[in-house]
Structure 1
């Protein structure tokens, strides 16, 4: 899913490097060996025995019980919890489409995101015309030459462990985006935070929060084809299980200015999720064995050096089953003189890659510096927001307020 153009662990034995630069920063390689779970040939998707999701606890009948505070928040908006879990979430009545930052509620519906449902989810492509992309050519650099997306090596848990796929429900149906496990400064080694795009969690000025938001790290770990995944066991598609967002935060700029084609919110199109496992007790970082720092210095494009973008493109010619990456030196994209300049790189990834992290090397360590937001109709480049002080404040509030939950 994208916006304006194509809005598309604790270390053990000291052996793990989450991101490594190869050859004078000419290429970025996401490298990680997962902390227990997946192997080269198989993936153990059982991160633990205790059920824990969105603050959920075991019910008397062995099912998942939604905590009282979440029930109360739903009831405030006239939503019956049982009806919601039985399919009421499909009701997109304007009065029940929660939109304000304080309104996010995402109760776990265990078993909802089964492999077949994941396979049927579509990219929610947001594209802009060439004319729209050229709105402020006085500041924008010339459009970059296309860079052909390169398939990431499998298994993903060894080559790109922090990267995963995000699933959610919208009025148009089940949708997909990409996301990245990031470090939690207040809870080192135990992060439950995921970075993605704002339009992957909230519809912007025309709507509200999406529903049933789930993060699946190292989705389709072995990069198998659709035919090979027919009848696949859940752990083959989700080696580390499903991680439900029990809280989400995106910028006011996206909530107020985001639109079906990105709009003025594109420059603020970023979000942070706090997640908990549908099954299990360990943190996301401990389970996956990987998490990345975020660089909020917002360097100018000319000073940023080479960047790499990772994600799961789902619109043709891709099908969302495999992870891809693009490496390029960024230029500037300005949608309006009144908006912050965005980064832009050449890349042929399509919708579904939205929200996927962009990485650059800082002092010898690769860090997340942006995320895929928008791209053109011809899928020749991607653009992402600069992450400055507003993005840092959103991240720090998420870490301080929800990180320890």
Structure 2
């Protein structure tokens, strides 16, 4: 059996066996966030325009580091100055009825531009690096080129797209350790104003319970995509955010069934988001596919709608550690989510055994994304990507970008020191 297949089986076995305890990985880093309209300059841009002096490093006039490498060096005080909208308005009790939940529209992964003449994608920022989206018919034979530490990859950090891997639904009832996965429901900014109190304004993503290094064994943190928490440049945070772990684990709402008992489809209850963080890069530049996707991640802190005195981790029975700066050549990825776009209905937890990831980059100066074959659709945005670390599953990314052509694949951000700083900040804030 190949090493890749052994690693996949390790992750699946660790998650699928109800007797395996999910363990905590404590990480040390530094601190999270910004306000609409800010932008991160590359080193070249900063050199050309100059920069103002910021909290701990040189910054743009808008308060972000002039060089993205400086963002990795932020201290707690620097992150604190970005947390201007850290707290979220309370979710009205009873807002997320089953009718509202089932009517929620799936949030699509960010869509890469369609190939134009000659196979080149259209509508993308121009860089000196190869463009990130190859024709759907391109062979998946390209291999990652070696790079010099501290310098962009010589090939721009772009490989040929991976082959399609068909998503597989997990059987009901879900194994105990799959309870770390769930669905995130929310309203986009302005939804209440446009359609107050009406159905059809609600949206859904996927999320994963992750460990909290500041509160071992008692985490209330959920990892997801940045675009599932904040709409990016010029916008603000989503509202009425709720996380339902282990949604429909028993199959109670499958096949058109409509139970009246909430515990039948939300066995661990509903967990309201009380604050959140997403990367400064996403909040400054996000909204569409492009370089901001390379930092498209967010973390929610939640509390139970019905308080039992237990944390989310204690309630569901585990939380996944997060593996930052994971060696790419050691990764064999399985991702999880609740796809809701056709041919899926959003009611079933699915996974893709994607194996070794290839690379995708919209800006060669930023860490290339991880890319795997996967046929999941809208609603899987934010779903957790797992790899085996020391024989146990750890989260290494989340669904950000998705391609649904002849070759179906998804891409997630590489979690570097910026992600570690974000994680450590919200942990200490709890």
Quote the RMSD (CA, aligned, Å): 2.2
- C-alpha distance in 1 between matches for 2:17 and 2:300: 22
TM-score (norm 2): 0.69
Aligned length in residues: 315
- Are positions 1:335 and 2:362 aligned together? yes
- C-alpha distance in 2 between matches for 1:182 and 1:385: 16
Match of 2:98 in 1: 115
**Pairwise CA distance, 1:153:** 2.4
Match of 2:337 in 1: 311
Per-residue CA deviation, residues 246-295 of structure 1 (Å, 9 max, x unaligned), is: 11000001001111x33321000011111100002210011110111000
**Pairwise CA distance, 1:339:** 2.8
Find the residue that maps to 2:327 and give its secondary structure.
coil
Find the residue that maps to 2:318 and give its secondary structure.
coil
- C-alpha distance in 2 between matches for 1:342 and 1:22: 19
User: Structure 1 unaligned runs (5+)?
Assistant: 1-20, 36-99
Match of 2:243 in 1: 215
Of the three residues 26, 43, 47, the one matched with 2:8 is 26
- C-alpha distance in 2 between matches for 1:32 and 1:195: 22
- C-alpha distance in 1 between matches for 2:297 and 2:230: 10
- Are positions 1:391 and 2:419 aligned together? yes
TM-score (norm 1): 0.73
**Pairwise CA distance, 1:189:** 1.0
- C-alpha distance in 1 between matches for 2:17 and 2:236: 36
Of the three residues 189, 194, 218, the one matched with 2:217 is 189
Asked if the contact 1:308–1:325 (Cα under 8 Å) also holds between the matched residues in 2, the reply is yes
Asked if the contact 1:34–1:290 (Cα under 8 Å) also holds between the matched residues in 2, the reply is no
Per-residue CA deviation, residues 172-207 of structure 1 (Å, 9 max, x unaligned), is: 620001111111112111111111111100000041
Find the residue that maps to 2:335 and give its secondary structure.
strand
Of the three residues 326, 339, 348, the one matched with 1:322 is 348
- C-alpha distance in 1 between matches for 2:96 and 2:267: 14
Q: Where does structure 1 differ by over 6 angstroms across 4 or more consecutive aligned residues?
A: none
Asked if the contact 1:31–1:161 (Cα under 8 Å) also holds between the matched residues in 2, the reply is no
Asked if the contact 1:353–1:372 (Cα under 8 Å) also holds between the matched residues in 2, the reply is yes
**Pairwise CA distance, 1:124:** 2.2
**Pairwise CA distance, 1:234:** 1.1
**Pairwise CA distance, 1:226:** 4.6
Match of 1:162 in 2: 180
- Are positions 1:130 and 2:108 aligned together? no
Q: Which moved more, 1:336-345 or 1:152-161?
A: 152-161
**Pairwise CA distance, 1:22:** 11
Asked if the contact 2:105–2:204 (Cα under 8 Å) also holds between the matched residues in 1, the reply is yes
Match of 2:89 in 1: 106
Find the residue that maps to 1:24 and give its secondary structure.
helix
Match of 1:269 in 2: 296
- C-alpha distance in 2 between matches for 1:213 and 1:276: 11
Structure 1 residues 290 and 207, CA gap change in structure 2 (3 angstroms): same
**Pairwise CA distance, 1:24:** 1.9
- Are positions 1:353 and 2:336 aligned together? no
Q: Which moved more, 1:350-359 or 1:220-229?
A: 220-229
Asked if the contact 1:169–1:213 (Cα under 8 Å) also holds between the matched residues in 2, the reply is yes
- C-alpha distance in 2 between matches for 1:185 and 1:347: 31
**Which is higher, the Rg of structure 1 or of structure 2?**
2
